[in-house]
Structure 1
Amino acid sequence: MDNTLAASVAHLTKTYGTGDGTVTALNDVSVGIRRGEFTAIMGPSGSGKSTLMHIMAGLDAPTSGQAWIGDTEITGLNDKELTLLRRRKAGFIFQSFNLVPTLDVKANILLPFDLDNRAPDDQQTRRIRDLVEQLGLGRRLGHRPHELSGGQQQRVAIARALAAGPELIFADEPTGNLDSRTGREVLRILREASAAGQSIAMVTHDPIAASYADRVLFLGDGRIVADKPRQSAEQISAHMLRTEQEASA
């Protein structure tokens, strides 16, 4: 296994349904997320980008093919083994915030530590304090999720995902519920995290968000159709437009 990869898949296929109703979400995809790199995954609706992320993260199982987190193959793990591996190795930022409604903001941020029966060390405590400040959550630590706006809940989910400094962060449209200023702040935080050695895989439809990444993967019809180094938002928009025009031609 290539130890320069934080996550990878090989010959990955995912289908839904049977017979004439079969839909192929991913078609023989092989790709890796490199360590310490910020990778954006883009493509039109139905291209398979969220399915790819969910399988890479061990949240969904492929129809065929293999997936690894680091050097551990996850396609053969049971639920308990997968849960432990994700808890130790990965952080998650999804559109559905998955905050615990009975816990306040501070307890939600500290949840990864509580689930692992440990307390943050000094470095992690400093990181949490910085995240709370950068994300404007300082006055909200005692609030519960129902007392927060959607954007504030998203910021709590981001702080929780980054709090323990996981090796790998999966982010599915992490700026989708945020105003543009807070969205840019979140993207800057993700870029800093990758510069500090964390690996980030971000699904997005937003060319501006993708322009913060070191690498942009484009999916179309369940396949990787392009793998580009850092792109400007204009370059990404132009590529997306070409892809959609070719698909409709």
Structure 2
Amino acid sequence: MNLSSTDLGLAARVQNLTKTYGHGQSTVRALDDVSVGIRRGEFTAIMGPSGSGKSTIMHIMAGLDAATSGRAWIGDTDITGLSDLELTILRRRRVGFVFQAFNLVPTLDALANILLPFDLDGRRPSALERGRIDGLIEALGLGSRLRHRPHELSGGQQQRVAIARALATAPDLVFADEPTGNLDSRSGREVLGLLAKASRDQGQSIAMVTHDPIAASHADRVIFLADGRVVADKPRQSPEQIAAYMLASELGAPTSIGDDAAAVLA
């Protein structure tokens, strides 16, 4: 029997996913037969060294890139064969994004940036949606900054605007790509706390790509990639446990799921 993503309690998943770049002897295998899912209502960190495939898997899960082989789902929707237009509509309505570079529209003020997903979808927020947006603005401390454009905001404020935009439509799934990479430590902690709260209080599924052990320690679950494969999948870890595992991986210690990896992560 084939179980759906809903049956499995997953907001997104990939199955036997492979991604290669180039041809012949210059072929690079970014992902190598990966099968993994993002659980509903959970904050998941995806970690790995540079070149491990962590950003590639997020981009394919989000429908921003296509796999060489294998399948990907958002909820129960198999996105593998969808057209660009179908993917665009699906992302707009069911997925939120938070990027390291904030990706705010410089000519729009903070409120217009937050409401951008609705404008792109050709509609205005309903009364219920507007109430949720007002709650987000209050929770994120943006009430006095709504008429400011991005260049008038600090990095932390810009990222809070980006989080409000990502959560405004109450998407099933939020992808965050190094969301604290351009922030100071205090702003970074605030942003991570906000993402964790969205998962905990609103039941939203958060998938965050990061190389930072401190950032990953805020997640409920940590998935480690190396050389295009999932090498460990663990519940919440301390920054020290994560850093120890990453160091062991880089030094060539065993990194496959099993006793050796479990010992490092214990």
Same fold (TM over 0.5): yes
2:106 matched to which residue of 1?
101
1:233 matched to which residue of 2?
239
Of 120-129 and 104-113, deviating more is 120-129
Residues 204-247 of structure 1, C-alpha deviations (whole Å, 9 max, x = no match)? 11111111111100000000000001111111111111111117
For 2:250, which of 230, 244, 247 is the aligned residue? 244
1:2 matched to which residue of 2?
5
Residues 61-119 of structure 1, C-alpha deviations (whole Å, 9 max, x = no match)? 01111111000011100011001111111000112322222211110100111222333
Q: Which runs of 5+ in 2 are unaligned?
A: 255-266
Give the share of equivalent positions with the same residue, in percent: 75
Change (3 A) 1:124 1:186: farther
Change (3 A) 1:103 1:133: same
Of 156-165 and 72-81, deviating more is 156-165
* Cα offset, 1:149, TM superposition: 3.8
Give the Cα separation in 2 of the matches to 1:45 and 1:90: 25
Q: Which runs of 5+ in 1 are unaligned?
A: none
Change (3 A) 1:151 1:189: closer
2:264 matched to which residue of 1?
none
Give the Cα separation in 2 of the matches to 1:49 and 1:247: 20
2:26 matched to which residue of 1?
21
Higher RCO, 1 vs 2 (CA within 8 Å, ≥6 residues apart): 1
Give the Cα separation in 2 of the matches to 1:177 and 1:121: 33
Give the Cα separation in 2 of the matches to 1:151 and 1:18: 42
Verify: 1:74 aligned to 2:79, yes or no.
Answer: yes
Instruction: Give the alignment of 1:125-136 within 5 angstroms.
Output: 125-136=130-141
Change (3 A) 1:159 1:173: same
* Cα offset, 1:122, TM superposition: 4.0
* Cα offset, 1:162, TM superposition: 1.2
Of 94-103 and 17-26, deviating more is 94-103
Does the 8 A contact of 1:154 with 1:177 survive in 2? Answer: no
Residues 116-150 of structure 1, C-alpha deviations (whole Å, 9 max, x = no match)? 23333344334323333343433321122233344
**Amino acid across the alignment from 2:241:** Q
Does the 8 A contact of 1:40 with 1:216 survive in 2? Answer: yes
Q: TM-score, normalised by structure 2?
A: 0.88
Aligned length: 248
SS of the residue corresponding to residue 98 of structure 1 reads: coil
Give the Cα separation in 2 of the matches to 1:216 and 1:127: 29
Give the Cα separation in 2 of the matches to 1:176 and 1:158: 14
Give the Cα separation in 2 of the matches to 1:177 and 1:239: 24
Give the Cα separation in 2 of the matches to 1:240 and 1:41: 12
Q: TM-score, normalised by structure 1?
A: 0.94
SS of the residue corresponding to residue 18 of structure 2 reads: strand
Does the 8 A contact of 2:101 with 2:182 survive in 1? Answer: no
